[in-house]
Amino acid sequence: MITSSQLFGITTLAYLLSSAFYIGLLVFRQRKAGQIGLALALFGILAQTVGLGLRWRESYQLGIGHAPLTNMYESLLFFAWCTAIIYVLLEIKFKHPVIGSFAMPIPFITLAYTSVDKGLSKDISPLVPALQSNWLIAHVITCFIGYAAFAVAAGLGIMYLIKHFSQSGGSSDSSSGILPELRTLDDLIHKTIIFGFMWLSAGIITGAVWANEAWGTYWSWDPKETWSIITWFVYALTLHARFTRGWNGARIAWLALLGFVSVFFTYFGVNYWLSGLHSYGSN
């Protein structure tokens, strides 16, 4: 019988091939490549969904019984899954498959990292007391949907800057010609950031409620909490600058990248380099 680990390996391959076909669309401008890339992305999402379900079932079979969202390995799996789903929904709605050449490598790299980092624990272990809460699923899901949306926004930001500098340099026949118009990319960055910001806000709120339940205080300025609010303010200021100052274009694209750097540090840097109440997240 196939295991969750085997399905995650299949998913990694599917995301790799999807990324390759999307990049083929970008380079060779072959519409068929984009269609194959989408099909592979959908197949990967399906395989990973089944894999996550199997890992959850394996947890119950071991007598532990918790959602696969409790350590770094499982959170990476979930982040990759959310990112792939958000991208596919974006393509289906806005019909710009070339975005996949910048978005689909993110879930592939994430899953590839889980395969090569031998320090990641892939064991299904009992929950530490702080994680034994009904708020676990709500907090993790909301945060990681936000993180995934910000990852896609960063990919869109890179696309915008490539197109922007290409046009500024007078280039007309480079691969950037197939990218969506700058106005379209700017609008997609804006909408994706709003989507991610709403979910991150929900994640911070559910985290505060959970913290009060676990530690008796809504906010303790733990490093993870501190960097989460820093990240929230980066995106809040980005949206504020757009709504009140009319910022758009390259400035918003750069802020989308800056915001994702903050997300990355909140997710990885705090867990590995700073100790605190969330230190279990590095396991």
Residue 283 · residue 71 · CB < 8 Å: yes
Handedness of CA 108, 110, 116, 122 (dihedral sign): negative
Please report, as a single letter, which amino acid is at residue 59: S
In sequence order, which ranges of 62-123 are alpha helices (DSSP H)?
Answer: 72-94, 100-103, 105-116
Q: Specify the pLDDT at position 158.
A: 97
Q: Residue 283 — pLDDT band, cuts 50, 70, 90?
A: low
Give the rounded distance of the alpha carbon of 277 from its chain centre.
23
What tokens appear for 98 in the block?
Answer: 């070339």
47 pLDDT above the threshold of 50: yes
Q: Specify the pLDDT at position 6.
A: 96
Q: Specify the pLDDT at position 280.
A: 46
Taking the C-alpha atoms of residue 2 and residue 48, their distance in angstroms, rounded to an integer, is 13
Choose between 119 and 163: higher pLDDT. Answer: 163
Q: Residue 84 — pLDDT band, cuts 50, 70, 90?
A: very high
Query: Measured between alpha carbons, how far is residue 161 from residues 83, 166, 250 in Å?
Result: 21, 8, 6
The pLDDT of 27-40, averaged and rounded, is: 95
213-236 pLDDT tens trace:
877 888 888 888 899 999 999 999
pTM, two decimal places: 0.94
Choose between 271 and 200: higher pLDDT. Answer: 200
What tokens appear for 268 in the block?
Answer: 């990885």
Going along the chain from its start, the domains and CATH numbers come out as 1-117 (1.20.120), 131-283 (no CATH)
Choose between 80 and 120: higher pLDDT. Answer: 80
Q: Specify the pLDDT at position 95.
A: 96
Q: Residue 239 — pLDDT band, cuts 50, 70, 90?
A: very high
Choose between 156 and 219: higher pLDDT. Answer: 156
Residue 7 · residue 47 · CB < 8 Å: yes
Query: Measured between alpha carbons, how far is residue 6 from residues 3, 12, 108, 114, 238 in Å?
Result: 5, 10, 15, 13, 41
Taking the C-alpha atoms of residue 259 and residue 230, their distance in angstroms, rounded to an integer, is 9
In sequence order, which ranges of 1-71 are alpha helices (DSSP H)?
Answer: 4-28, 31-61
The pLDDT of 100-128, averaged and rounded, is: 93
What tokens appear for 186 in the block?
Answer: 């700017």
Residue % of the chain over a pLDDT of 70: 93
173 pLDDT above the threshold of 70: no
The per-residue pLDDT of the chain, averaged, comes to 91
